[in-house]
Chains A and B, each alone.
Chain A
Amino acid sequence: TQLLEQSPQFLSIQEGENLTVYCNSSSVFSSLQWYRQEPGEGPVLLVTVVTGGEVKKLKRLTFQFGDARKDSSLHITAAQPGDTGLYLCAGLGSNDYKLSFGAGTTVTVRA
């Protein structure tokens, strides 16, 4: 049983379209992280959100942490083929060092 549920599992869109990936849990997290992983490589941290209601922007990527710190979303505006990859959310409990990962969302952006 995944502590963090990600949806959708797969997403295929045309270049220029927008997309949103969701990460939901019944547990409260002290922080939530989003990673991007490309084939044959390890996950690379994109952002960490720590405050309920927090919104962080990284160029065309917008990350939001739910008010109750149980859920998060990643929105990509005007997606590009370079955004293709596996997006993983991971939560950290209070006073915990073990990340709990979602199963990931495979995003494919077609040129």
Chain B
Amino acid sequence: GAGVSQSPSNKVTEKGKDVELRCDPISGHTALYWYRQSLGQGLEFLIYFQGNSAPDKSGLPSDRFSAERTGGSVSTLTIQRTQQEDSAVYLCASSFDSYNEQFFGPGTRLTVL
């Protein structure tokens, strides 16, 4: 079966522009996570979705970041008015439920010029 897919794989944008990053989780996985990986840093938790429950947004670094998950499947992470410090690899993961193994997508490398 297909794994977690993310698009685009690379995104270069200018400071101040908005970007949307997409994640297609593994079919049937109810939990979905977004992480950010900066150079030399581990993965930083951003947001978590589980079924129809309210998402855990506690890891979002600012109100310029938002995410939604439509129909319990595809998720979109939106960054408004991008800043250079937003440059990083954004990773999406899904799991069968909250406490099972997380399967990661290949990530989107975001570069803000």
Contact = CB atoms under 8 A, between A and B. Distances in A.
A41 B102 contact: no
B83 interface: no
A4 B42 contact: yes
Interface of A: 2, 4, 6, 9, 40-45, 48, 88, 90, 92, 97-104
B48 A42 contact: no
A98 B43 contact: no
Interface stretch (B14-22, B61-69, B72-80, B93-101): B93-101
A41 B106 contact: yes
Contact of A42 (B41, B56, B99, B104): B104
A8 B27 CA distance: 37
Interface of B: 4, 9, 31, 33, 35, 40-45, 48, 50, 56, 59, 91, 93, 98-99, 101-107
A98 B48 contact: yes
Nearest to A35: B104
A52 B26 CA distance: 32
A41 B91 CA distance: 9
A102 B99 CA distance: 19
A8 to B, nearest CB: 13
Contact of B42 (A40, A44, A45, A103): A103
Given A97-B50, A98-B56, A43 B43 contact: yes
Contact of A103 (B35, B40, B56, B98): B40
Contacts of B101: 45, 48
Contacts of B59: 98
A96 to B, nearest CB: 9
A80 B45 CA distance: 32
A3 to B, nearest CB: 9
